[in-house]
Amino acid sequence: MNSMERIFAAVQCHDLDRIPFILNLTHHGAKILNLSIKEYYSKSEYMIEGQKRLWKQYRDDAVIGISYFAAEFKAWGGKIKFFSDGPPNSMRPILSNPNSIISIEPPQIDEIPEFIETLKTIKGLHEYFGDSVPVVGGILSPFSFPIMRMGFNKYIELLYQDLSTFEDLMKKNIKYAIDWANRQIEAGATMIIYFDPMSSPFIIPKSKFIETGYQIAKEILPKIKAPIVYHFASSRCQEVLPELLQLPISGVGISKQDKIKESLKIVDKKVALVGNLSGIHLVHATPAQVIKELKALMSLISPGKGFIVSDHHGEIPYFVSDEILSTISHFFHHSAKYPLN
């Protein structure tokens, strides 16, 4: 099986040769090319080359076509800050008044340099890997995006105080998000990760999710023309898994805080689960500790259908060493073959 076949078998909960794993390596491309993170993200050529080299080194089951989510914040008028050893971060929220945010028109995808480079990266990776390795695309859910644009506190207040304004805000966000996802698919993205941490029961109660984020997802997801993984960016989601099963998705990214056996039971092979290694733990772990953790994970997911091992945040920290990444890769290529022992 190649990686494409393996990932699709996993999301369809079919038999496969070994447990698939995706390392979610993004800015590690800068490290392998000996570039700064800012420089690396400035050109699609760098990102394509970085992903190719990372894949050759670790042979995981996908390459990452997207760059960083703060680029979306920048596209809507925000300022971002680059770091030497972590993802770029959004700076101060643009506007605290939701009515002002509503008056802002969404960015034109073809006019945003960061989006153009992302689309070129996806296209380049798709041309290179063809049908052998999935190219991962992704969008920040319109429901979660206002965290950056308004600030977390103002957005929470809006959700509890003014649902009418919230709905107006979502209308523009929704159209933009669907366009952005489908443009990535047209460029060659195999799947779209729908990052929606705001919908986690860690952030809002389930009742509020059903009233808000869930309705947004129900509107958007059917219009995205590729398989979708619903992702909570390391926040827990077990409590809302029954609701997620009603959505047109192929997988759910689960957190370290979620219980694997219970989660597998809830989804009952209707969708795949993706997770749930903690990247932060990997920063300080020894190879022996990582192998121990992977073995424990194998025992929980056995017999293993419908599970893709991955970092639970959607991006593995820059501080995770080559030694640890190589340990994970070696484990899956040698110790995660079927039948699992």
Partner 1 sequence: MKEKLEEALIEVNYQNVHDIFQKMLSQNFTLPKILGIIRTVMESIGKKWEQERIALSQVYMAGKLIEMEIELHLKNSKNNDTIRNQKWNKKVYTCVYEDYHALGLLILNSTLRMAGFQVINLGIGLTEEELCNYVSSKQITLLLISTLMLASAKHLKNTIQSLRKINPNIKIFVGGAPFNLQTDLWERIGADGSGMSPYSIIPILDQHFQTIQSSQASTSEGL
Applying CB under 8 A, which residues contact partner 1?
A: 81, 83, 85-87, 89-93, 147, 151-153, 156-157, 159-160, 201-205, 208, 234, 236, 256-257, 278-281, 283-284, 317-319
Q: In terms of CB distance, is 259 or 270 closer to partner 1? A: 259
Shortest distance, CB of residue 294 to partner 1, whole angstroms?
A: 18
Q: In terms of CB distance, is 161 or 299 closer to partner 1? A: 161
Cβ neighbour number for residue 290 with a 10 Å cutoff: 20
Q: In terms of CB distance, is 142 or 304 closer to partner 1? A: 142
Q: Quick one: tokens of 150?
A: 């308004």
Q: In terms of CB distance, is 182 or 278 closer to partner 1? A: 278
Contacts of 107 by beta carbon, 8 Å cutoff, 6+ apart: 75, 76, 115, 176
Shortest distance, CB of residue 320 to partner 1, whole angstroms?
A: 10
* b/e map 315-330, b = 16+ CB within 10 Å: bbbbebeeebbebbbe
Peptide bond into 134 cis (omega under 30): no
Shortest distance, CB of residue 100 to partner 1, whole angstroms?
A: 18
**Contact between 6 and 17 (Cβ < 8 Å):** yes
Q: In terms of CB distance, is 116 or 296 closer to partner 1? A: 296
Angle, nearest 10°, between helix axes 163-187 and 213-220? Answer: 40
Q: In terms of CB distance, is 78 or 306 closer to partner 1? A: 78
Shortest distance, CB of residue 60 to partner 1, whole angstroms?
A: 21
Shortest distance, CB of residue 264 to partner 1, whole angstroms?
A: 20
Separation of alpha carbons 272 and 192, rounded Å? 14
* b/e map 73-103, b = 16+ CB within 10 Å: bbbbebebeeeeeebbebeebbbbebeebbe
Shortest distance, CB of residue 69 to partner 1, whole angstroms?
A: 12
Shortest distance, CB of residue 160 to partner 1, whole angstroms?
A: 5
Q: In terms of CB distance, is 32 or 147 closer to partner 1? A: 147
Name the amino acid, one letter, at 335: S
Q: Quick one: tokens of 341?
A: 């022992």
Cβ neighbour number for residue 120 with a 10 Å cutoff: 17
* Residue 18 CB burial class (10 angstroms; 0-12, 13-18, ≥19): middle
Closest-CA residue to 146 (of 192, 223, 213, 243): 213
